[in-house]
Structure 1
Amino acid sequence: MNILFVHQNFPGQYRELFKWLVAQGGHKIVFLTQRKGVPQIEGAHIVTYAPHHVPADAAYAPTKYWEECVGNGLGAGFAAQKLAADGFRPDVILGHVGWGELTFFKQVWPDAPIIGFFEYYFLANGGSIGFDPEFPASEHAPFLMHARNAVNFANIQTVDLGQSPTLFQRDTFPASFQDKIYVEHDGIRTDRLVPNPTASVPLGRLGRSVTRQDEIFTYMARNMEPTRGFHKFMRALPHILAARPNARALIIGGNEVSYGKASPEKGGYRAEMEREVGDRVDWNRVHFLGKVPYAAYQKIIQVSRCHIYLTVPFVLSWSSMEAMSMGATIVASDTAPVREVMTHGETAMLVDFHDHEALARQVIEVLERPGDVAHLGRNARAHMVERYDFMTRCLPAHVARINSLVPRTMAISPPS
């Protein structure tokens, strides 16, 4: 089968599916991306495209995002035209709709079935906008958010089938979209993301490695920002460290912004929150590790006595489910879509996102009496294995959806 993947940041949500299909052999696989410097992979062909147009900073706000998406779509579409001229015709196309890359693919291959990844519909109410009263929505937010959905409206007509990873994310879309979107997570490699009681993490400032014998609690986000509750975590930090004099915080994440507005302060939200909590924190026991390699991240979670995951109602982080697979004891925000994958008292402890003191109390309790909550990590891992394992649950579901759109003679053999 000829398979085309499209994602501006290779490999994105297709990391495991792409690798599995390449490993099967017998397919001609092309991955179209904006990401530069991706090495060629045996069994696949990586093609880089550039946006055809990038809007100016001063572009008209309500249409700026659509303008950017059209630029991406034309860049990807022209690259698709070149692939077609070189003789490539995909039997199926899989791509993320959110950046507009798929918008013009039916103009290149009218008959090629497309499965589009529908990650999020921009909501003025019920999602990330206005959820935290500390960051109120502007009066123009309903208009701007709806304008950003132009790319979703264009692409629901482009695709033959949609996919969303959680029910919450699917249900952000209008009812008219939902019958066309199936819900299945990308999948977690629970066979690789496992507990490791002997894991250790070197801490240069400490002069030694920490292990499960140390009182470690962790927080992770791609970037330290309010959408992922960084400000709430930082306000809980003084209380946790004061109550647990041997505890250390290991914090993973960059200092940029992935979602929402950037901090006006130099140094971003980290600098802003460090200034706010100030001398109430023993900074010798706080370790900002930045963005770390994937293998190092796994070890950090494996040594953690308590892992903290916070988010406003928005896209669910892979890291939350990966931590569950590794058997972490998690304290998380009682928000959607967290409640879809974690159950309070069974697989995690859920707390009010807005109450940093309640967060601190729950983390302190976990650190103080880890034996009382040891079942949470075991149950969390069991839940990931049963419902979200890539090989046994998610992969067969995705293969079945792909096969439903292609002739039976081309069908991908389901995983054994």
Structure 2
Amino acid sequence: MNILFVHQNFPGQYRELFQWLVAQGGHQIVFLTQRKGLPEAKGARIVVYKTHHKPAEDAYAPTKYWEECVGNGLGAAFAAERLAAEGFRPDVIIGHVGWGELTFLKQVWADVPIIGFYEYYFLAQGGSVGFDPEFPASEHARFMMHARNAVNFANLHSVDLGQSPTLFQRDTYPEAFRSKIYVEHDGIRTDKLRPRAEASVPLTRLGRAVTRDDEIFTYMARNMEPTRGFHKFMRALPRILEARPNARALIIGGNEVSYGKASGAKGGYRAEMERELGDGLDWSRVHFLGKVPYAAYREIIQVSRCHVYLTVPFVLSWSSMEAMSMGAVIVGSDTPPVREVMTHGETAMLVDFHDHEALARQVIEVLEAPGDFAHLGRNARAHMVERYDFTTRCLPVHLEKINGLVPRGKAIALPR
């Protein structure tokens, strides 16, 4: 089969599916992306495209995002035309809707089916905007959010089939979209993401490595920001560290912003929280590790006695499910996307996102009596294996959907 993947940040949500298809051999696979400097992928071709246009910083705010998406869409379409001129014709196109890259591909290959990844419909109510009263929505938020959905509407009929990884994400979309979107997660490699008793993490400040014998609790987000409850976690730290004098917090994440409004302070939200907490926190036991390699991230979660995952109603992080696969005992936010995957008292302990005192109490309980909560980690891993394992659960569904759009002779064999 000839397969064209499209995602501006290779490989994005297609990491596992792309790798699996390449490993099978026999397919002609092209991945169209904006990401530069990638090594050659054996068994596939990576093609870098340039956006055709970027809006000016002072562009009209309601249409600025659409302008950016059109630039991406045209850049991807022109690259697709060059591929077509070389003789490449995909049997199926698989790509992300959200950055506009799929918008014009039907103008290149009118009858080639497209499967679009529908990640999130921008909501003025019921989503991330205005959920935390500390960060109220602006008076124009309802207009700005709806304007950002222009790319979703532009692709409603360009895409033949949609995919959302969770019901929460699918249900952010209006009814007109939902009948086209199937719900299946990208998939978790539970065979590779396991508990590991011998895991260790070197801490320079401590002068040694920490292991499961140490009292470690963890927090992770792509970036330390309010959407992922960073401020709530930080405000829980003084009480946790005071109650547990041997505990250490290991924090993974960058100091930028992935979602929502950036901090107006120099040094970002981390600097804001450092100033707010001041001397009321034992900073010697707080370890900011930054963005770490994937292998190091696994070891950090594997030594953790308690992993904290917080999010407003928004896209669920891969890391939360990967932590479940590794048997982590999770204290999470009691918000809709988390409740879809974690069950309070069975696979995690869930607390009110807004109540950092409740968060602190729950983390302290887990650290004090890890044996009383160990079943949560075992159950979490079992749930990931049964419902979200890439090879046995998610991959067959994705292949079935792909095969349903192509002639029978082009179908991809399902894994045993």
Shorter-chain TM band: over 0.9
Amino acid at match of 2:22: V
How far apart are 1:336 and its partner, in Å? 1.5
Amino acid at match of 2:113: P
Does residue 1:127 correspond to 2:127, yes or no? yes
Amino acid at match of 1:277: L
Amino acid at match of 1:339: R
For residues 14-413 of structure 1, what are the structure 2 equivalents within 5 Å?
14-413=14-413
Q: Secondary structure at the match of 1:156?
A: coil
- In structure 1, C-alpha distance between the alignment counterparts of 2:411 and 2:24, rounded to whole Å: 13
Q: Secondary structure at the match of 1:337?
A: helix
How far apart are 1:371 and its partner, in Å? 0.5
TM-score, with structure 2 as normaliser: 1.00
- In structure 1, C-alpha distance between the alignment counterparts of 2:38 and 2:275, rounded to whole Å: 39
Percent identity for Structure 1 against Structure 2: 83
The unaligned stretches of length 5 or more in structure 2 are none
- In structure 1, C-alpha distance between the alignment counterparts of 2:42 and 2:234, rounded to whole Å: 45
Deviations 1:315-359 (A, max 9, x none): 000000000000000000000210000000000000000000000
Amino acid at match of 1:256: E
- In structure 1, C-alpha distance between the alignment counterparts of 2:191 and 2:24, rounded to whole Å: 18
Deviations 1:13-35 (A, max 9, x none): 00000000000000000000000
- In structure 2, C-alpha distance between the alignment counterparts of 1:198 and 1:63, rounded to whole Å: 52
Deviations 1:348-381 (A, max 9, x none): 0000000000000000000000000110000000
- In structure 2, C-alpha distance between the alignment counterparts of 1:239 and 1:77, rounded to whole Å: 54
- In structure 1, C-alpha distance between the alignment counterparts of 2:205 and 2:17, rounded to whole Å: 39
Question: Considering only aligned residues, what root-mean-square deviation do their CA atoms show, in Å?
Answer: 0.3
Q: Secondary structure at the match of 2:157?
A: helix
Amino acid at match of 1:261: K
- In structure 2, C-alpha distance between the alignment counterparts of 1:332 and 1:156, rounded to whole Å: 34
Amino acid at match of 2:162: G
Deviations 1:266-313 (A, max 9, x none): 100000001101111101100000000000000000000000000000
TM-score, with structure 1 as normaliser: 1.00
- In structure 2, C-alpha distance between the alignment counterparts of 1:156 and 1:402, rounded to whole Å: 18
- Aligned pairs, how many? 416
Query: Which position in structure 2 is the counterpart of 1:11?
Result: 11
- In structure 1, C-alpha distance between the alignment counterparts of 2:52 and 2:83, rounded to whole Å: 16
- In structure 2, C-alpha distance between the alignment counterparts of 1:69 and 1:39, rounded to whole Å: 26
- In structure 2, C-alpha distance between the alignment counterparts of 1:116 and 1:202, rounded to whole Å: 42
Q: Secondary structure at the match of 2:189?
A: coil
Runs of 4 or more above 2 Å deviation: none
How far apart are 1:39 and its partner, in Å? 1.1
- In structure 2, C-alpha distance between the alignment counterparts of 1:156 and 1:389, rounded to whole Å: 29
Amino acid at match of 2:372: D
Amino acid at match of 1:79: A
- In structure 1, C-alpha distance between the alignment counterparts of 2:317 and 2:408, rounded to whole Å: 35
- In structure 1, C-alpha distance between the alignment counterparts of 2:156 and 2:373, rounded to whole Å: 44
- In structure 2, C-alpha distance between the alignment counterparts of 1:277 and 1:157, rounded to whole Å: 51
- In structure 2, C-alpha distance between the alignment counterparts of 1:190 and 1:275, rounded to whole Å: 40
- In structure 1, C-alpha distance between the alignment counterparts of 2:320 and 2:280, rounded to whole Å: 28
How far apart are 1:106 and its partner, in Å? 0.1
- In structure 2, C-alpha distance between the alignment counterparts of 1:238 and 1:265, rounded to whole Å: 22
How far apart are 1:156 and its partner, in Å? 1.3
Amino acid at match of 2:253: G
How far apart are 1:254 and its partner, in Å? 0.1
Q: Secondary structure at the match of 2:336?
A: coil
Amino acid at match of 1:244: R
